[in-house]
Structure 1
Amino acid sequence: MQTASTYICERMAHSQELSEFKRGTVIGCHLCNKSIRDISFLLNIPQSTVSGIITKWKKLGTTATQTRSGRPRKMTERGQRMLKRTVRRNRQLSAESIVKDLQTSCLRQISTTTVHRELHRMGFHGQAAASKPYITKCNAKHWI
Structure 2
Amino acid sequence: MGPKKKEHSVALRERVLLLHPQGRSYRQTGAEVSVSYTTVRDIIHNNKETGTTVNKCRPGRPKVLTTRERRRIIALARKEPATSATTIAEVVQTASDKTVSVQTILNVLNEGDIHGRSPRKKPYISEINRHKRLQFVKDYISKLGNV
TM-score (norm 2): 0.47
User: Rg bigger for which structure?
Assistant: 2
TM-score (norm 1): 0.48
